[in-house]
Chains A and B, each alone.
Chain A
Amino acid sequence: MEFNSNKAIYLQICDAICEQILSGGLLPDARIQSVREYGADIGVNPNTVMRSYEKLTNEGIIYNKRGIGYFISPDAREITLHRLRNEFMENELPKIVKRMKLLGIDASVFKEV
């Protein structure tokens, strides 16, 4: 996995899983890799992956079956959509607006796009 944004690695791992949920790569009740397998695949400390899984569990996006592993929640897609929309509105959109102001681009371009 390529890590390049400024976000903490464990948050970038959360984002990657959320993206996979949205794109349909991870479906409800699908088992996700163990902390160790996933860590080995992406070359990241298992404790970091554990933090990501804990965060996603707290948000209700994945759930833990004791002794078996982590699974995608039935309503993961809705929660993820909500999460990413909020993030877009709070973080990404203001950056785009700021950039547009800097470059003198009017909001009317959105109609053209």
Chain B
Amino acid sequence: MISIENLGFSYGEKPVLKNITMTLEEGKIYGLLGENGVGKTTLLTLLCGLKNVKTGSIDVDGHVPYKREPSFLSDLYYLSDEVPEVNMKATDYAKNYGKFWEKFDITKFQEIMGIFENDPEQKMNRMSFGQLKKTYISFALACNCKYIFMDEPTNGLDIPSKAQFRKAVTKYTGEDSTLLISTHQVRDLENIIDPIIILDRQDVLLNASIAEISEKLYFDYSNERKDGALYSEMIPGGSIQVYPNTSGEESKVNIEALFNTVHLHKELVKGIFHK
């Protein structure tokens, strides 16, 4: 389990994260959402020990990430948004760098490359951005780490790759792994990310499972307009309206509408979820 308590971080004088408290459990694929500049990437780099907290603490199953102990790092993979073009065949890269991760599995790497229809014999600096990204995603999942943090992994992926990404993630993450995926492409990852974390500059606005969200909020896709909508948006063929769930009926969670609802009613939503 990952526990973050009262975490604060700033770049020089400029505060980025403040009073962030949350826990991340095993066996879950968290979606980390937030507006541009709220500090999603900063949070990921703090979690993997590339930066140190200014205030507060991070505890990952007894490890302090910034100590960067080998036993901790070999069980963690951080996939950043920008990935280096290496002058190496993908399969050679995997064999060489896989050694740093104890549980790395080359067969798994090749299988995932197969799902992505990516050629492991191709040189990485000859690949397109999307192909390169898919190579690193395959590598990340083949490391069999307990903690996998991905920053915007679906950026640059073509349309078929997005479904392949969902398949690879659901099929190849360990049952006790914790995945944290930051993204703006919520449609790419809808039905995959659960729980959902919504980050704000000063606060964690939401950290709840899809089950909790559909228990507490009702997403109405009908054409009927009722009073008391927290959020409504016209879509072709009707609208999406979000209400506090009073009937107990469980509806499909629309993550974009959820995000907008949470941003419009920060305190109210926090109240609903902290009950």
Contacts and interface: CB of A to CB of B under 8 A. Distances in A.
Interface of A: 3, 5-12, 36-37, 39-41, 43-48, 51
B46 interface: no
A7 B250 contact: yes
A12 B250 CA distance: 11
Closest CB pairs A-B (n = 4): A40-B171, A43-B166, A8-B250, A39-B170
A46 B194 CA distance: 10
B250 A45 contact: no
Given A43-B166, A45-B191, A45-B192, A8 B252 contact: yes
Interface in B196-223: 209-211, 214, 219-222
B258 to A, nearest CB: 13
Given A6-B219, A6-B222, A51-B211, A43 B191 contact: yes
A36 B221 contact: no
8 contacts: A6-B222, A41-B167, A45-B192, A45-B193, A47-B28, A47-B29, A47-B194, A48-B194
A46 B173 CA distance: 10
Contacts of B250: 7-8, 11
Contacts, number: 61
A32 B31 CA distance: 28
Interface of B: 27-29, 163, 166-167, 170-171, 175, 191-194, 209-211, 214, 219-222, 250-253
A66 to B, nearest CB: 16
Nearest to A39: B170
Given A6-B221, A6-B222, A44 B252 contact: no
Nearest to A46: B170
Given A6-B251, A8-B253, A36-B170, A45 B211 contact: no
Given A5-B252, A45-B191, 14 more contacts: A3-B191, A3-B252, A7-B250, A7-B251, A8-B250, A8-B253, A10-B211, A39-B170, A40-B167, A40-B171, A45-B192, A46-B170, A48-B210, A51-B211
Contacts of A6: 219-222, 251-252
